[in-house]
Structure 1
Amino acid sequence: MADTPHVTDPKRSGRGWRIAGIVLVVIVLLLVAAAIGLRMAFPPARISALLAEQVTAATGRVFRIDGDLSIRLLPTIAVRAEDVALANAQWGSRPDMFRFRRAAFEVSLRDLLDRRIRILSIEVDGADVLLETDGAGRYNWQMAPRAPSTGNASAPPLALDRLVLSQVHIGYRDAGKGTSSEIDIESLELQARADLDRLTAALRLGPQHWTVEGDIGHPAMLLAGTDEWPFNLRFATGGALMTANGSMGVGPRTGTLSARLTVRADNTRALSQLPQLSKFAAALPMPVEASADLQRNRDEWRFDALTLSLAGQLMKGRVTWMATQPTASLDVALSGAEIDLGKWGVGRSASKPASAETGSRKPVFGDVPLITFESLPPFALRIALGVDRLTVPGLPMLSGVKARAVSEKGRLTIEPVSFGAAGGEIKGSLSIASSHGAAPRTEVQLTARSLSVDALDELWSGGKQFKGGRASLAAKLSMTGRTPRSLAASSNGDVQFSVRDVALAGRAAALDRGIVARLVDVLLPKQASREDLVVQCAVARLPLRNGVAPIDRSIAMETRQIAVAAIGQVDLAKQTIELEFRPRVKKGLDLNPGSLVQLMLLKGPLESPELSIDPKGTVRQAATYGVAAATGGLSLLAPALLGDAGVATDCGLDGGAAKGGKASQPEGRKFRLLRPFESMR
């Protein structure tokens, strides 16, 4: 039997559609009624008041919405407000801590019905934020939640899921120090996560643009003020990268900080925008790499376990900055294994040849200030430095360098300073003091013992002037002025220099090069062999008074054959020299005195004096040397150096200023070298 086809009842089908339509209309009416009810229950004014109440309770500051307020109720409550403000601390410099031009809030409806505030998102466009401290340990971002009324539960902390900022200006003001700084946030997004919130931002610091990304603690932790606020951030800009990983104290511990910092910069432009480095960034050799453990406690900033690499050269140490006013101070302790100052642009290049233009010689002492107190930092600065091997262009390798410098209250002291150089030892000190706008007064002490002349000559002339020998130097000077010229012209004190057992490296080289080598070469007898050209001892003592050193045989030298003394004057004020050199023959050496130059003149500017032979001196007779012959061929120099000055060794220096004492003899006695030469006056 065939199946009977099913036939739909048109009346039943139409009735179903009518029922569905009625249900839909009822649902719409219910939704409209709910919307109307919600609007009646939570009108914009009430939402604004409820939001202001919750924020005010959570922060202890008055929160206001002064502009228009629009609301969207479903599916969440979205509030768009204009002219939003949060009051500043009572002691603040202006009424509001921040002001927003436009702000959009999206609030959880379910939490709101339970009288809780859970902000799903905040979007702010155009904001002006002021962060400040009064200099007495109070900060305007320290919030003080209001105590709840009796019988009421305390207001719950705000919960924030997402924050978006654009075009935000943030200023920081330190009333105690009278300083301020600014930063502009072009964009910022903060996304809530379980443990730490994710932060990404683009900001501008001066003309420099930076990007920031990383993780930070929840904003509610800052408002609560009862815990550490953690952060792990990365800051980057063109040519620079910085990271900071640690935590910041909040609430009662505001002003404390603990973090691991790293910095890398390939150019000075990025670091020059940082307030604390702007004055020094231009002088930093690039690239710069640094890392340190930062511990801050109020005004004390400690950078421990510091590693600092400048232009690839590594130093280690620590830095402590005390921001206490008015006695701020910076303590630095650094040490390194091997440092080449040439890589930092200090000193002349060792490979750069000297200028051959004799017509454009510069004075020995110029008019460019060596140091100005205005260039020193306004705070107390203490630096302790130690370097195993230090290379300074134009100087021999320095070893075991130790120095301590202190700058404070118009005084710079570098003491002590010690290092090894050219096989010898050098020690010294420097003190510069200024007061009431007067020219600085400089005190210098320097002692150098047993320096290798061979090593010094190799460095400065390629070993073409002298061979072998040892040199010593002792100086004690006081000077007044700002420039090398004024310092030289006002110098008072004594400078003593001695050389022993140094050989001239050939006549051709001597005549072509240094003035000292030329002088020795001309004074020595022409028939002497090269092997005989050895200066057994040379001594120079400059008793400076106001930049002028009268020379009365206090410059002298002795070879195996002759001894030479000088009479004249060295004038550092005028930067001139005028000396007469007279040689004497030693007995028993089969040397004809008539073969010697009788009188040699060294005269002219310090940078380029000229040698000449006095024609009158050449006609003296050999009998002039009779007094010298009475010495029996023994040293003319050594016994004369003892003279009235007391016991002396090492060509007569070690008993004087080399030991830190005065080089001059007792009062009323004249220090005279080469007494056998008095008949030559």
Structure 2
Amino acid sequence: MDTTAPTESSQPPARRWLSRPWRIARNVAIGIVAVLFLVWLVLFITKGRFLKHPFESIAGKLTGRAVTVRGDFQLYFAPLQIKFYAERFTIANPQWATRPNLFQAQRIDTRIAPLSLLFGKRRLYWLDLTGGAVDLEWNGAHTANTWTFGDNKKGGKPLDLPRIDRATVAGTGVRYLDSQMRLLADLKIDTITSTDARIGKAVGLQGTGRIRDTPFRLVARLLSPDATVNRGKNQLTLRAWAANNVIDVAGTLPSIADVEGVPLQTRARGRNLAELLGIIDVAIPITRTYALKAQLVKSGNAYKFTQLSGTFGDSDLAGRLTVTNGDRLTLDSVLATRSLDIVDAAPFIGYNPDIVAAKGAVAAAAATGAAPQRILPDAALPIATMQVFDATLKWTIGVVKSRNVPISDVDLTLALDRGRLVLSPLTFAMARGHVASDIVFDTRQRPAADRYDIRLSPTPMGRLLAGYGVDEAGTSGTIKGRIQLNGRGDTIHDSLAGASGRIAFIMPQGSFWTRNVQLSELDLGTFVQKMFEHRLKEPVKINCGLIGFTVRGGVAAADPILIDTQKNVILGRGGFSFKDESLDLAFRADGKRFSLISGQSPVGLNGYFAKPGIAVISPQLVGRAGAGLALGLFASPLAAVLAFVDVGDAKSAACGPVLAGATAGAQRTTSGKPRDDVGTGTTAKTDDGKRLGTDRNPKRKKVLGIF
């Protein structure tokens, strides 16, 4: 037997062919391993520092941003993990951004899982980040942001955070800028320490910023940091302090800087709601302390507050509000109030409600710059602000809590368009009557062109006066009226101080309590007679009445004041001034029947709007009393009474012109003759400043006015 081993030349050709590729593969594998080992060895020895510039170039191409390392750089296997170390590392922002870098760090030291760079989600075994800074910014058109790489219009890719098993992040801050909202925030992040890819506890943030021109400070907590790192939902709470207001926001965001379409629960409280809205350049009347909550959803450039509810002062508020931040800031709101305290309504005419509540209307008017003893506020309209935003408002109010006048069912529609403010219609129920008004403040004209048109439907006088201590029972008289004025001015006082127009209140047929009427008529005989007969509450019948004024240049003159009752004709002269709020009126009752003891003298109404006075003992009454005393001394006691006798020669009024609200020139007696005992709607003064009387018949037996 031949036991000699076969040589290579003696092997079959097929076996020789199979062994050769094996050897080649073996040699190639050995070569690759040798090369890899050599690369590993070179990288390990050099720490890969020579790869700095290739790394910057490749990373820049992948991100579309400039990537630079201005300090030490290391990139090598240690031994099977990729070691990455960089000092003064930066990733640039797009050219349109206001800051040069999206991200920068004083130092990054990390270990990377090699295969995660090729397959699946990138993974870091550990990360040590020091002195980091992140810049999150939107462009002016809100179409691109700094944290999305590539072309935003073509669906750029946002920054994808890797999985990090262990991490320490210290001294890191975040800057957020939204130029469309004019919002800037600089935040510092608390030191973060994570293990097993879990941060666990909430991550705190705090910092300062500015929204529009208002500085603020805030604290926030990211309640779900692990989900945030893994690009999951982000549960966030935030509290900010700005302009004496505290704002709380809570919600879950799909990404850390994306609030689009996300419902956020918001709360705000502070001393004045006007200060809160003033942050976004919206002007509203000032309020007392408020507390509101709502759900906020951002949709494009619209911020929608729904399920709004809360209080301001002693009043409640509910509804919805949409703020649109377009070419012009626009507010659209629908609000409802069940109960509005009258003090909380004071700001709508320019008063500070806190001053009204503590010191009254006169003090509140003085705080606006009004002269002493005036009640019309001198608070100027916020012209500049009114011209930079537009608004629509529909506001309904159930009841207005008032001490004197019962007001309810308020329905207000407001429109502000480039400085032209229109309250139309503004309606409400008052003492079982109805008031409808249309008010315009047009600040496009300088000074503002203002128009007041206020209409009072027939309203029971007993109910209307009940709040002032007049019992309602026994009074069936009603009153209706209209105020039409046009003026110029940026305050209510200025607009009325130069206003022109007409004021008229009409009293159709009805009844009024004797004790309320006879005293104003100063018919002492009838009053005393009824008092002794215990008939003080017997109503006096009113045939018709008109309290009319013609207003010229802020001065209102009686035109006419004429009330025809069953037994008397009440006449009034004089007027009042919106300029200095002075009152100078006289009322006189002429009897239609004989009255034994009648003052036959005007009752004066003087003083100011804030502090009116009644002059019951007028010069005419004093003169008549003097005459009676003289007759009593030199004639007989009976003669003294004659000075107070009213022979009852008053001419009844034709109610047609009265009920039509006609001026004095159109008034007639029941016989159809023009009346010569009513004012002409004008006032005049002598050169020495004394008022002139307007009585066209100075020889009349009874002086009807004190002017």
Q: Does TM, normalized by the shorter one, top 0.5?
A: yes
- Counterpart for residue 442 of structure 2: 433
Change in Cα spacing, 1:43 to 1:373, as seen in structure 2 (3 Å) is: same
- Counterpart for residue 307 of structure 1: 308
> Shift of the alpha carbon at 1:428?
0.6
- Counterpart for residue 382 of structure 2: 372
> Shift of the alpha carbon at 1:594?
6.1
Distance 1:244 1:352 in 2: 40
> Shift of the alpha carbon at 1:364?
3.5
Distance 1:193 1:519 in 2: 92
Question: For residues 492-511 of structure 1, what are the alpha-carbon distances to aligned partners after superposition, in whole Å with 9 as ceiling and x for unaligned?
Answer: 111112456564585xxx7x
Q: Quick check: 40-49 or 346-355, which moved more?
A: 346-355
What is the aligned counterpart of 1:257 among 253, 256, 260?
A: 260
- What SS does the corresponding residue of 2:224 show, helix, strand or coil? strand
- Equivalent position amino acid for 1:182 in 2: A
What is the aligned counterpart of 1:383 among 385, 390, 393?
A: 393
- Equivalent position amino acid for 1:324 in 2: G
- Counterpart for residue 495 of structure 1: 503
Question: For residues 513-566 of structure 1, what are the alpha-carbon distances to aligned partners after superposition, in whole Å with 9 as ceiling and x for unaligned?
Answer: xxx9964456784434223564725431111011122325x1123443211112
Distance 1:196 1:504 in 2: 82
> Shift of the alpha carbon at 1:585?
1.6
Question: For residues 435-489 of structure 1, what are the alpha-carbon distances to aligned partners after superposition, in whole Å with 9 as ceiling and x for unaligned?
Answer: 36x2212101111223343344343458699966433231111111233432332
Distance 1:341 1:450 in 2: 23
- Counterpart for residue 82 of structure 1: 87
- Equivalent position amino acid for 1:261 in 2: L
> Shift of the alpha carbon at 1:105?
3.1
- Equivalent position amino acid for 1:89 in 2: P
Does residue 642 in structure 1 map to residue 642 in structure 2?
A: no
Q: 1:319-468, aligned counterparts within 5 Å?
A: 319-325=321-327, 327-340=328-341, 342=343, 347=353, 362-366=372-376, 368-369=378-379, 371-374=381-384, 376=386, 378-387=388-397, 389-394=398-403, 396-435=405-444, 438-461=446-469
Q: 1:71-220, aligned counterparts within 5 Å?
A: 73=78, 77=82, 79-108=84-113, 111=116, 117-145=122-150, 159-161=162-164, 165-174=169-178, 179-187=182-190, 189=192, 200-206=203-209, 208-215=217-224
Change in Cα spacing, 1:219 to 1:351, as seen in structure 2 (3 Å) is: closer
Residues 391, 415 of structure 2: 8 Å contact kept = yes
Residues 392, 416 of structure 2: 8 Å contact kept = yes
Change in Cα spacing, 1:365 to 1:472, as seen in structure 2 (3 Å) is: same
Residues 350, 394 of structure 1: 8 Å contact kept = no
- Counterpart for residue 3 of structure 1: none
TM-score under structure 2 length normalisation: 0.68
Change in Cα spacing, 1:423 to 1:70, as seen in structure 2 (3 Å) is: same
Does residue 235 in structure 1 map to residue 241 in structure 2?
A: no
Question: For residues 330-377 of structure 1, what are the alpha-carbon distances to aligned partners after superposition, in whole Å with 9 as ceiling and x for unaligned?
Answer: 2111224444465798658999897999xx994334462253324547
- What SS does the corresponding residue of 2:261 show, helix, strand or coil? strand
Identity of aligned residues (%): 15
Does residue 318 in structure 1 map to residue 320 in structure 2?
A: yes
Distance 1:63 1:290 in 2: 45
- Equivalent position amino acid for 2:391 in 1: L
Residues 348, 394 of structure 1: 8 Å contact kept = no
- What SS does the corresponding residue of 2:553 show, helix, strand or coil? coil
TM-score under structure 1 length normalisation: 0.71
Residues 316, 334 of structure 1: 8 Å contact kept = yes
- Equivalent position amino acid for 2:220 in 1: T
Change in Cα spacing, 1:79 to 1:41, as seen in structure 2 (3 Å) is: same
- What SS does the corresponding residue of 1:364 show, helix, strand or coil? coil
- Equivalent position amino acid for 2:451 in 1: E
What is the aligned counterpart of 2:667 among 654, 657, 672?
A: 672
Does residue 560 in structure 1 map to residue 566 in structure 2?
A: yes
How big is the alpha-carbon RMSD for the aligned residues of Structure 1 and Structure 2? Answer: 4.9
Distance 1:604 1:313 in 2: 34
> Shift of the alpha carbon at 1:171?
3.8
- What SS does the corresponding residue of 1:259 show, helix, strand or coil? coil
- What SS does the corresponding residue of 1:37 show, helix, strand or coil? helix
Distance 2:375 2:665 in 1: 30
Does residue 62 in structure 1 map to residue 57 in structure 2?
A: no
> Shift of the alpha carbon at 1:203?
1.3
Q: Quick check: 598-607 or 57-66, which moved more?
A: 598-607
Change in Cα spacing, 1:492 to 1:567, as seen in structure 2 (3 Å) is: same
- What SS does the corresponding residue of 1:40 show, helix, strand or coil? helix
Change in Cα spacing, 1:286 to 1:568, as seen in structure 2 (3 Å) is: closer
Distance 1:395 1:168 in 2: 62
- What SS does the corresponding residue of 2:190 show, helix, strand or coil? strand
Distance 1:282 1:572 in 2: 23
Aligned residues: 585
**Structure 1 unmatched ranges of 5 or more:** 1-32, 147-153, 223-228, 511-515, 644-650, 657-663
- Counterpart for residue 681 of structure 2: none
- What SS does the corresponding residue of 1:642 show, helix, strand or coil? helix
Q: 1:505-544, aligned counterparts within 5 Å?
A: 506=515, 519-521=520-522, 525-529=526-530, 530-532=536-538, 534=540, 536=542, 537-544=544-551
- Counterpart for residue 690 of structure 2: none
> Shift of the alpha carbon at 1:204?
1.8
Residues 214, 232 of structure 1: 8 Å contact kept = yes
Question: For residues 385-421 of structure 1, what are the alpha-carbon distances to aligned partners after superposition, in whole Å with 9 as ceiling and x for unaligned?
Answer: 123x132545644332211111221211111111212
